[in-house]
Amino acid sequence: MKLTQIKKKLWRWETSLVVLLLLEIVVFGALNPRFLKPRVLLGSINDFMSICVIALFVTSVLITGGMDIQAGSIVGLTSISIGLLWQDFGMNIWAAALLSLLIGALCGALSGFFVAYADVQPMVVTLGGSFLYSGLAIGVTNLSATESYKGISGFPSYFTGFSKFRLGGIPSQVLIFVALVVLSYLLLHKTKYGRSVFLCGVNRNAAEYSGINTRLVIMSTYVLSGISASLAGIILTSYLGTAKADFGKELTLPIITAVVLGGTSNLGGRGGVIGTALAALVIGIMRFGLSMAGLNTQYLDIPVGLLLIVAVAFRGLTGRSKWLGSLSQKLKERRKNKEKVSA
């Protein structure tokens, strides 16, 4: 009964995100017709792909009631690791990319371990993780023959090309994104594992009593988000053609924004990847559309901030008025009961 209610509510929220997305396309298309060219519109996703990819998997962290603010720093660590393994250790570029995925998984596992097994506040652990991994990234840079300010570049064109080619006019990054949405949707909403992730967020004790290894499940969400951050790092390195330690440092808040705007509760137990994917697009397209309409990049945070506050307030208000309604009803019942007793 309650689950269907939650599902209903989520559905409605995702619908409003779709409406918002369409509205954006219409408004910005009217302001600058160039915006509507499929090549331009689809191509714009290249510039906010990292946020989309990572947010998909940070969603499940938030659903367990956790928080992940370290993903951005794993992007930089991945990027510089690829460059270092390829240039200074002479490794094949794809092998380097695979190994860096493992590094991302390890980073996620380390923080996930402290959250799940040592019961440390996830915010604190991942804050520490963000400093640790971005510091490691700079430390690792010093192992390289290249001075750190230069970044490592000169990658083979088949590596820098995979993030740029178009299949029938559709950029490869869009295809990767769609594939990841499907994958994460199936994982979180169609498998037993996905249900246990939700259950951990709704009530961890209940989940534990029903035979779920909640610690492992919680830790696994951090591992997945670490891997997704590494994946974003690989794509970013390929797209920009350079490996640098400070990539991704500005992504932390946009990622959380996309997840929260997508309807995932930061208290756990509620959310979904479709909402996150839509929200990431809503934010990215809004930034792109506004700058196409001539707004200066430095002011783009203002509309995004407003959107987040208003959207969350909207959800909060509709939720709370219901809660208020039930509260007043309860009070009435209690008064009636009291009256009965006194009578």
Partner 1 sequence: MKRVLASVLAMTLLLSLLAGCGGSSAPASSAPAQQPSESKAAEPAAPAAEPAEKSDITVVFVPKLTGNAFFESANDGAQAYAAKQGFTVKYDGSPEASVANQVTVINNAIQQGMDAVCVSSVDATGLDDAMKQAKAAGLQVVTWDSDVSGDARTVMVSQGTPEILGEMLVEMGVKSLTSRGKDPAKDAVNYVWHYSQATVADQNSWQVAGEEYIRSKYPNWVNVAPNNYYSEQDAEKAISVGESILTAHSDIDLVICNDSTALPGQCQAAQNLGLTKDDVTITGFASPNSIKDYCRAGVIERWGLWDCQIQGALGCYLAYYLASGNEIKVGDSIDVPEIGTVTVMPNTVLDPGAYVADDSGVVLLPERAEFTLENMDNYNF
Q: Which residues bind partner 1 (CB under 8 A)?
A: 20, 23-24, 27, 31-32, 34, 40, 43-44, 46-48, 50, 138, 141, 147-151, 153, 160, 236, 239-242, 244-250, 286, 288, 290-301, 303, 306-307, 310-311, 313-314, 317-318, 320-322, 324-325
Parallel/antiparallel/unpaired status of strands 152-153 and 242-243 = antiparallel
Using the minimum distance from each CB to partner 1, give the nearer residue, 202 or 240: 240
Alpha-carbon gap, residue 284 to 46, rounded angstroms: 10
Using the minimum distance from each CB to partner 1, give the nearer residue, 201 or 275: 275
Using the minimum distance from each CB to partner 1, give the nearer residue, 111 or 144: 144
Reported residue count of the chain is: 343
Using the minimum distance from each CB to partner 1, give the nearer residue, 197 or 282: 282
Q: Among all chains, which residue has been given the structure tokens 């409605």?
A: 12
Closest distance to partner 1 from the beta carbon of 121 (Å): 25
Closest distance to partner 1 from the beta carbon of 310 (Å): 5
Handedness of CA 331, 335, 340, 342 (dihedral sign): positive
Alpha-carbon gap, residue 20 to 24, rounded angstroms: 6
- Paired with 152 in beta bridges are 243
Closest distance to partner 1 from the beta carbon of 291 (Å): 5
Reduce the DSSP state of residue 1 to 3 states and report it.
coil
User: For the chain, where are the alpha helices, taking DSSP H only?
Assistant: 2-31, 38-43, 49-63, 71-87, 93-117, 122-141, 157-161, 172-189, 192-202, 204-209, 214-240, 252-261, 273-292, 301-342
Closest distance to partner 1 from the beta carbon of 337 (Å): 24
Q: Are 251 and 258 in contact (CB under 8 A)?
A: no
Closest distance to partner 1 from the beta carbon of 288 (Å): 7
Using the minimum distance from each CB to partner 1, give the nearer residue, 200 or 280: 280
Using the minimum distance from each CB to partner 1, give the nearer residue, 104 or 122: 104
Closest distance to partner 1 from the beta carbon of 143 (Å): 14
- Residue 330, CB-side half-sphere exposure with 13 Å CA sphere: 6
- How far are the Cα atoms of 1, 2, 315, 325, 332 from residue 329, in angstroms, in the given order? 20, 19, 22, 6, 5
Using the minimum distance from each CB to partner 1, give the nearer residue, 166 or 189: 166
- Chain-centroid distance of CA 240 in Å reads 21
Closest distance to partner 1 from the beta carbon of 24 (Å): 8
Using the minimum distance from each CB to partner 1, give the nearer residue, 97 or 199: 97
| Cβ count within 10 A of residue 64 | 28
Q: Among all chains, which residue has been given the structure tokens 């969400």?
A: 221
Tokens of 330: 């309860």
Q: Are 151 and 244 in contact (CB under 8 A)?
A: yes
Alpha-carbon gap, residue 9 to 316, rounded angstroms: 12
Using the minimum distance from each CB to partner 1, give the nearer residue, 195 or 249: 249
Closest distance to partner 1 from the beta carbon of 213 (Å): 38
**Radius of gyration, CA atoms only, the chain:** 22
Closest distance to partner 1 from the beta carbon of 98 (Å): 23
